[in-house]
Amino acid sequence: MQPVRHPLLYQVNTRVWLQELSQISGRPATLDDVPDDELDRWRDSGFDWVWLLGIWRLGRVGPEISRSRPDWRHEFIGTLPDLRESDIGGSCFAIVDYGVADRFGREEALTRFRARLARRHIRLMLDFVPNHIAIDHPWVGLHPDWFIAGTAADLERSPANFIRLPDGRILAHGRDPYFPGWSDTLQLDYSQPGLREAMASELVSIAGRCDGVRCDMAMLLLPEVFARTWRRSMPAFWPGAIRGVREARPDFVFMAEVYWDLEWTLQQQGFDACYDKRLYDRSCHGDAASIRAHLSAGLDYQDRLARFLENHDEPRAATVLPFERHRAAAAVTFLSPGLRFLQQGQDVGRRIRVSPHLIRAPEEPIDKALQSFYADLLATLRLPVVREGSWQLLHSLRGWDGNPTSEDLIGMAWTGPDGSRLVVAVNFSEHAAQGFLGLPWEDLDGRCFRFWDRLGPWSYDRDGGDLLRRGLYLDVPAWRVHVFEVTRIG
């Protein structure tokens, strides 16, 4: 499978998904039970990647902790008012072994599932959780020096960040420096050479079973972050670990979950795609000017960002965003360059976020309006011009003196390898906006062009000379999105 320049990824909560299939079939479902129709739907929707969240084995302690914490149970009941103990499966990030869980069909079922995806030209992404492991991981007994140890004073002063094991040892929970520890995990000590080698080996093993990994909280392994959190020095882990995988798999893809404006740092260490949390925040809570400022960055940076409107950590987009703003934010997010990813259920308007500790989701009605919009958007994302083409941010100019609403317009242009053209125009505001978008093409003069909107019934014929001199004039209602295919008609 040849890589796509701007690929589309679909995130699937594996446990919840297979639980739903089990309810339909009346028996426990594994990856072998996923119907071909579902895989065909992913292919026909244009997905290049499927990310199976949470397929690795968990231990006994993690689920027990998940069931015992009152604050977590309160969240779970908010999601599932009819919560059962069996619905709490434990966090899929408290991994005890990088082997495929029995309930999914073990390694053999994953191998067959990956082959079925490959026949549809879809690549498989799995999780790698480098910062921490489950409390009952075998390494706890075999390699006690691979963990951050604490003292009785640490435990008394910060009980959310440390745990006393049955053998009396006090170890740190996995955490980032800004939040309490994850109480079902233990923090790995990357100052230890043996631990670094073991985790690099785990990564090589995972790479033999998929085509890419999503690396959980990848920035926590940056030496400066690790030192700030744990007051210990470590050498850079990612460059060598990534190189070790690519010696055998040159086309293997690394996607980083990353925050705190460290995306460029991780790109320089070898990651192909890094979470674009800043665009997410600005799309959900910012304005057009803040989005345009973000999209003004160099393409050497933007082409390696992963754009999203939701994932398992964020609230569902249909809850955060009113319908009109949702459409505008989705157009900006997914018609920008880089890797685009959608979470399962996003395209039908699911509103309830399901914790990674749960294995069941509530039933929800389909939002027909959002379903229709995403169907049109996905059809656009299948076009070669936005999969393989070149992207440019467009300048907006005032429609007339004294009218500043052009500042609310976000314009983008795509040019395909075959010369195809697409113009995206979004009014990212709650009022109408007028203005001109400067177009990037120099061959417009002396020709006539048709602008056909893929997301609506609109079609406009424009003189190329006028487009070249003044730009494309737009009068756009609040939050309206236009995606114009541009074709020469004379």
pTM (predicted TM-score): 0.95
Q: What's the chain's average pLDDT? A: 96
pLDDT value of residue 3: 81
Please, what's the largest Cα pairwise distance for the chain?
83
Write out pLDDT tens, residues 84-99: 999 999 999 999 999 9
Chain segment 155-210, per-residue pLDDT in tens: 999 999 999 999 999 999 999 999 999 999 999 999 999 999 999 999 999 999 99
Strands (E), 399-469: 409-415, 421-427, 433-437, 448-453, 459-463
Spatial contact of 118 and 216, defined as CB atoms under 8 Å apart: no
Residue spans of the chain under pLDDT 50 = none
Q: What is residue 184's predicted lDDT score, i.e. its pLDDT?
A: 97
Q: Which of 337, 409, 383 is nearest to 6 (CA)?
A: 337
Contact 157, 117 (CB under 8 A): no
What's the pLDDT score for residue 490?
A: 73
pLDDT at 2: 64
Sheet with 481-488, strands from edge to edge, namely 390-394, 409-415, 421-427, 481-488, 448-453, 459-463
pLDDT at 1: 53
**Segment 261-294, tens digit of pLDDT:** 999 999 999 999 999 999 999 999 999 999 999 9
Domains of the chain: 8-143+183-387 (3.20.20.80), 389-488 (2.60.40.1180)
